[in-house]
C-alpha cells in the first residue's frame, strides 16, 4: 500500500497514545487497529501491521518495568515458553478456523472482568497470598492466552492482568508489568507468521512503532510513580472500552 505523507505523523500520534495507555492497562489495540482500517488497510494487513507496531510498545514497556524491578525473569520463564507455543498455534489456526465462536464468547468474559473488578474495590491494591503455584499458572494461561492472542487478540492483556491479580496475588502494577512480558512474547510469535505471509506494512508499522516507543515509556513511568491505585481505574476503563468496541463490531458494524 502507498500512503500519503501526512498519514505517517497521524499514525505516529495514534501509536503514542496507544502505547501510553497500553503500558498502563492494555487495550491499545482498540485505537491502532481501527486507525489502520480507516486508512484502507485490508484486515489481514491491518492485523499484521498492528502486531508489528505493538511489538515496539510491549518490548519497550518490558524494558522500563524491568528496570523498575517489577518483573521477575525466573517467574516469567515458563510463561514465555508456554505463550510462544500458544501464540504460534493461534496465529496458524486463525488462517484455517472460523473465529466467530470466540468473538461471541469474549464479550461475556470481559463483562465478568468488569463486574468482578467493580464489586471488589480493594482487589489489586496490594499483593495477597497466591491461590495457585506460578509454574502451573503460567503453563495453563500461557497456552490459552497465547493461543487467543495469536488467534483473535482483543482483551488479552486484561485477561492476563486480572488472572494474575486473582490467582497469583499480584497487585495491579506488578500484574501489568508481568502482562507486558507475555504480550511481547505473543506479539513476536504472531508477528513472525504475519511477516512470513507478507502481511506487514513496514513504513506504517515503523511510524506507529516510533510513537509506541515514546508512549510506552511515558505510560510505564506514570504507572510506576503513581502505583496500583492509579492503574486500577485505567484498567477498568480500558476493559469497558475493549468490550464496547467488540460489541460495536459484532452487533452494529457487521449489520450496517
**pLDDT tens digits along 141-166:** 999 999 888 777 777 888 899 999 99
User: pLDDT tens digit string along 166-177?
Assistant: 999 999 999 999
DSSP structural state of residue 132 = S
Model confidence at 132: pLDDT above 60: yes
| Residue 184 phi, psi (nearest 5) | -60, -40
Residue 67 burial (C-beta neighbours within 10 Å; 0-12, 13-18, 19+): exposed
pTM of the model: 0.84
Q: Which of 118, 115, 116, 105 is nearest to 151 (CA)?
A: 105
- Which H/E stretch holds residue 117? helix 100-119
User: In 10 A of CB 170, how many CB atoms?
Assistant: 24
The HSE-up count of residue 98 (CA atoms within 13 Å, CB side) is 3
d(C-alpha 17, C-alpha 206), whole Å: 15
Model confidence at 83: pLDDT above 90: yes
Q: Which of 66, 7, 61 is nearest to 35 (CA)?
A: 7
Amino acid at each position: 500500500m502507498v500512503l500519503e505523507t501526512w498519514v505517517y505523523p497521524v499514525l505516529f500520534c495514534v501509536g503514542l497514545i496507544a502505547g501510553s495507555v497500553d503500558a498502563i492497562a492494555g487495550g491499545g489495540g482498540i485505537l491502532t487497529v481501527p486507525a489502520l482500517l480507516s486508512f484502507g488497510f485490508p484486515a489481514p494487513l491491518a492485523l499484521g501491521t498492528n502486531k508489528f507496531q505493538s511489538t515496539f510498545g510491549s518490548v519497550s514497556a518490558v524494558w522500563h518495568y524491568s528496570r523498575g524491578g517489577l518483573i521477575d525473569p525466573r517467574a516469567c520463564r515458563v510463561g514465555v515458553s508456554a505463550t510462544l507455543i500458544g501464540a504460534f498455534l493461534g496465529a496458524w489456526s486463525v488462517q484455517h478456523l472460523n473465529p466467530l465462536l470466540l468473538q461471541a464468547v469474549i464479550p461475556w468474559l470481559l463483562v465478568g472482568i468488569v463486574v468482578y473488578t467493580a464489586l471488589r474495590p480493594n482487589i489489586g491494591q496490594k499483593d495477597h497470598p497466591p491461590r495457585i503455584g506460578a509454574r502451573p499458572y503460567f503453563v495453563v494461561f500461557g497456552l490459552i492466552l497465547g493461543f487467543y492472542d495469536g488467534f483473535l487478540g482483543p482483551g488479552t492483556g486484561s485477561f492476563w492482568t486480572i488472572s494474575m491479580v486473582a490467582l497469583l496475588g499480584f497487585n495491579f502494577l506488578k500484574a501489568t508489568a508481568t502482562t507486558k512480558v507475555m504480550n511481547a512474547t505473543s506479539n513476536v510469535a504472531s508477528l513472525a507468521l504475519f511477516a512470513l505471509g507478507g502481511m506487514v506494512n513496514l513504513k506504517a508499522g515503523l511510524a506507529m512503532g516510533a510513537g509506541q516507543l515514546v508512549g510506552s515509556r511515558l505510560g510505564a513511568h506514570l504507572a510506576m510513580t503513581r502505583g496500583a491505585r492509579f492503574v486500577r481505574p485505567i484498567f477498568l476503563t480500558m476493559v469497558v472500552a475493549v468490550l464496547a468496541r467488540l460489541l460495536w463490531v459484532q452487533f452494529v458494524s457487521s449489520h450496517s
